[in-house]
Structure formats: structure tokens, C-alpha cells
Structure 1
Amino acid sequence: MTETITIEHDARGVARLTMNRPDKHNALSAQMIAELTEAAEQLGRDPSVRVIVLAGAGESFCAGGDLGWMREQMAADGPTRAREATKLAMMLQAINTCPKPVIGRIHGNAFGGGVGMMAVCDVAVGAAGARFGLTETRLGLIPATIGPYVLARMGEAMARRVFMSARLFGAEEAVTLGLLARAVDPADLDAAVEAEVAPYLACAPGAVAEAKALARRLGPPIDEGTISATIAALVARWESDEAREGIAAFFDKRAPGWKG
């Protein structure tokens, strides 16, 4: 029984994996991270599943890190922070390496970790009017654990337009950046997702899985060393004076000391 996600299957072998914390804009809590990891592994092993659609319930796709989780990280010691960051990194890697094609259905907002969730989809289709942002630096943090996936999706040159500035951008720019394959009218979003799903149903599932694995091997390496380096960078940043000030200012609803 899951509490933060839902999984629905149709007769064709399409599984819809939905982040289901609409009251929290599907922010990534420790429980959701664990449930998403298990779901990705379970669906990847299920021979009846041909395609996975990753979606979010309510008004947003995924607002990033859960506020309660952020508070816990500020109060934690280094090893605890590293352990929790590792869980997030392993969840992203589980989706990224899932042998089934993953189609992202993106609507509303996707910030921080939500952009990371988009980047581990094989194809992401978004609703016009959606907003995106790698917002970590506003808090004195860095987009570390999601970084390898964002860079793999956008490429370094495109990623550097938005990776450090925390600037919000819309669906059309997300297409230009390579984060979205298409931006469509919200009323057409489900049809656009279906258009990405349908071709896979005519393909050999084993060949699809092996082709996806080959694409990952030929793409930028995201291995244990890369993941460990991002975790170390994030833990070091959590321990900085800027992170303490940024998180405190966020919860105090005030501007941080560096804001001009």
C-alpha cells in the first residue's frame, strides 16, 4: 500500500505512476522518494508493463523538496544528510535506468527536484503555461543530486542558462532548453502524451529496453562516482553559512542577507 503515489495499469501495458501529494504540490518527501524508488524498480521488472507515464496529481507536477524534509536536513549531521541525499539520488537513478520507456506528463509548476524528475523521463511533454526553475541557489543550495540528469538532458551550454540563476522560465523556453519535447495547450496534454506512448506498443519490449540501456551507455556517464561527487557537494553546501541563512530566511519569510 502506497500513501504518496498511485499506480494504474491499462490493458495495453501502460502504467501511470502519479505523484499524489496534491496539497503539497507533490513535493518530494522522504516517504515519496522511497515509494517512487520501489515503484520504478517494480515496474521495471514487470513483464506486463510496456510504457510508464509519470505524472503529478493536482495543480503541479512537482514543487521540488518537501519543506519538512528541508527542515530535517538543516538540523541533521553530515552523515545523515549524505544518507538522505543518497536516497534521492538513487530514486532518480532508478527512474533514469528503468528498462521501460518513461513519458513525463508535465503541468503546473516544476521546481528544483521537480526539474530533476522531468530530466529522468525519456520524453517529457508539457502544458503551455507551466513554469520551471532550478531554484536552489535562492536558498544558498545547489542543484547537485539532480545535476547529472539535468546536464544529460540539456547539455552544458543550455543548462548554464538556468542552472545557477534560479530564474523561472516557461514551457516554450523549456522546449528550447531540451527539457521538454513539446509544449501543448493544456486541453491537448493527454493526447500529446498518448502520441508519445503509442509507438512503443508496436516495438519489441526487449529491444526497447536494450536500446535505452545503450543510449545511456553512449551518453554522459552517471555512475557511482558521479553520484557520490554530487552528494558530497550537496552535503558541503548544506553546511555552509549561505545555506543556513537561505533556509532560515525562507522559513522566516524574509529576504536573505545577500539579496540586492
Structure 2
Amino acid sequence: MDFQYLQLEQDAQVATVWLNRAELHNAFNTQVIAELHTCFTALNDRDDIRVVIIAGRGKSFSAGADLNWMKAQSEASSTDNEADALKLAKMLQALATLKQPTIARVHGIAFGGGMGLASACDICVASTDAKFATSEVRLGLAPSTISPYVIRAIGARQASRYFLTAERISAEQAQNIGLVHEVASIDTLDQKVQEIVDALLLGGPEAQASSKQLIQMVNQQSLTEELLIQTAQHIAHVRQGTEAKAGLNAFLNKQSPSWIKSTTE
């Protein structure tokens, strides 16, 4: 498979999907989302692949949405906006429902959609310098399409704090709230990932696929078409609002949004 913004590597039974838009901290746009969806769909049909690792080139795992792309989408029609959001929702669903065990190898920042990508993986291993955030509200947005995966990872109670404050979450904090399974120095990150890969390869692939389905069933949070549409409609509505447009413009122009009051007022 040939991609513009991804690199797919295979080492025996392990596939690594590298986000390769390093100059923009692997931010999502329409093309990145489409390539990820295509890649995950193809990997799901590969019986020779036992484990899938998601990683980022450069200084970051992923900064989430490319804000210039988000700004353009805020000007689109409601129909186009919802269709675009649904593509992101379906990409995350394709990752979350892969038959193979998935590992997020996180270093640097994993904000917004980047945190969603890590949450949609079965296992998350982070470097000590990793930072997570659901940063959307500071832009006048909401973490809609990533919400099923983040809430599943950290629970509704923790989501209440971090969805509303958009605070940055250290790797240690992320481990404490259930998002991250293992924390390692950047020098030993790949070693820690390999340890988990080795453990996964000892399991039966059909049993692992069945176990993934079991977890979703018992967790009572099936990723239904209705849920995907609801989250897409939610973000489509929010990002067309005046607050979202003002927040995105403020960020891109390096200004404070209108809801942050000056201390001199």
C-alpha cells in the first residue's frame, strides 16, 4: 500500500503504522484520516499479521486535528460537515474493531484526536515525556468523535474533568487514570513495546479476536452505526457554532479567545 502520510512496516507477524506528517506533529486532515481507514481495513484482512502498532514520526505521536482543516470544515455546510466528521468516527471504529491486538506507542504529544487514537488501541505504552489532552473546549469545540474511546479508557468520572478543563495529562497521570498501561523512558520505549508484543504472540489469534469482542459486549458500549452518527452530528454542530469559529481563529492568530477575560478588566 502506498500512502502520502503513513508508513507501513512489517516485521514478521507485527505491522507498525507510522503517522508520517512530522512537520505538523502528525496532525489529522481528510487525507490522513482516509489513509488510516484504508490501512486499518486492509490489515483486518491479513491473517499473517498478529499485532498492529500505531506510532508517530518526529517529535510527537499526534497533535490531533489540523486546525486549518478544522477551520475550513467549520465553514462547510451541515451535510458536508457531518459527513466529514463521520469519516473520522469510522476510522477510529476501524482501529478499535481490528481483529488483531493493537498497541499505541506514544511519545511527545497526543492531543485531541491523537489521544482518541491512543484510546482506541487495546494497549497504550507511553514515554515519560508524553503529554495527553482533550484540548477541544479551549478551541470552542467538543471531543465528540473520540469520546467513546476515551471514556471507555478512563471512565466517565475522569472524562468529566479532562473534557471540561482540557488540562494536559502527564504520562504518569495517564497511567493512574487508566489510559496508559506502561510508562518507559524514550530510550527503552521500544523495548517495552516489544515485551508486550512477545506476550501477545503467545496467545491464539482467534481467541484474542474473540476476547476483544467479549470486552465490548461486557462493557455494553458497542460501536454501533447509531453511536458513530450521533458523535459525528455532535461535532458537526459544535464546530459550525460561533464559539468554535472564534476559538479556532484566535488560536491560529495566536490570540486569546473571547471567553478568557483579561486580568485588567
Work out whether the TM-score is over 0.5. yes
* Secondary structure at 2:180 match in 1: coil
Q: Establish whether residue 74 from structure 1 lines up as the match of residue 70 from structure 2.
A: no
**1:113-192 → structure 2 map (5 Å cutoff):** 113-192=113-192
Report if aligned partners of 2:71, 2:245 keep a CA contact under 8 Å in 1. no
Separation (CA, whole Å) in 1 of partners of 2:63 and 2:34: 17
Query: Which one-letter code corresponds to 2:14 in the other structure?
Result: V
Query: Which one-letter code corresponds to 1:144 in the other structure?
Result: S
Displacement, 1:196?
Answer: 1.1
* Residue 46 of structure 2: aligned partner: 46
Report if aligned partners of 1:119, 1:153 keep a CA contact under 8 Å in 2. yes
* Residue 249 of structure 2: aligned partner: 248
Query: Which one-letter code corresponds to 2:49 in the other structure?
Result: V
Separation (CA, whole Å) in 1 of partners of 2:54 and 2:241: 34
Separation (CA, whole Å) in 1 of partners of 2:67 and 2:239: 15
Displacement, 1:233?
Answer: 1.3
Q: Deviations over 1:4-36 (max 9, x none)?
A: 00111112x000111111111000111110111
Separation (CA, whole Å) in 2 of partners of 1:106 and 1:244: 30
Report if aligned partners of 1:159, 1:177 keep a CA contact under 8 Å in 2. no
Query: Which one-letter code corresponds to 1:141 in the other structure?
Result: L
* Residue 3 of structure 1: aligned partner: 4
Displacement, 1:251?
Answer: 1.7
Separation (CA, whole Å) in 2 of partners of 1:200 and 1:176: 23
Query: Which one-letter code corresponds to 1:235 in the other structure?
Result: A
Q: Deviations over 1:63-114 (max 9, x none)?
A: 0001331122122111111011000000000000000000110000010000
Misfit runs of 4+, over 2 Å: none
Query: Which one-letter code corresponds to 2:20 in the other structure?
Result: N
**1:106-117 → structure 2 map (5 Å cutoff):** 106-117=106-117
* Residue 101 of structure 1: aligned partner: 101
Report if aligned partners of 2:82, 2:236 keep a CA contact under 8 Å in 1. yes
TM-score (normalised: structure 2): 0.95
Separation (CA, whole Å) in 2 of partners of 1:80 and 1:179: 32
For structure 2, the 5+ residue unaligned runs are none
Report if aligned partners of 2:67, 2:248 keep a CA contact under 8 Å in 1. no
Q: Deviations over 1:174-212 (max 9, x none)?
A: 101111101111111001101111112122111111111
Displacement, 1:217?
Answer: 1.7
* Farther-moved stretch of structure 1 (141-150 vs 152-161): 152-161
Separation (CA, whole Å) in 1 of partners of 2:217 and 2:17: 25
* Farther-moved stretch of structure 1 (139-148 vs 182-191): 182-191
**1:192-207 → structure 2 map (5 Å cutoff):** 192-207=192-207
Between the aligned residues of both structures, percent identity stands at 37
Query: Which one-letter code corresponds to 2:222 in the other structure?
Result: P
Query: Which one-letter code corresponds to 1:28 in the other structure?
Result: F
Separation (CA, whole Å) in 2 of partners of 1:158 and 1:241: 28
Number of aligned residue pairs: 259
Displacement, 1:153?
Answer: 0.9
Separation (CA, whole Å) in 2 of partners of 1:81 and 1:141: 14
* Residue 231 of structure 1: aligned partner: 232
* Secondary structure at 1:129 match in 2: coil
* Residue 257 of structure 1: aligned partner: 258
* Residue 27 of structure 1: aligned partner: 27
Separation (CA, whole Å) in 2 of partners of 1:48 and 1:167: 41
Separation (CA, whole Å) in 1 of partners of 2:14 and 2:258: 49
Separation (CA, whole Å) in 2 of partners of 1:180 and 1:27: 21
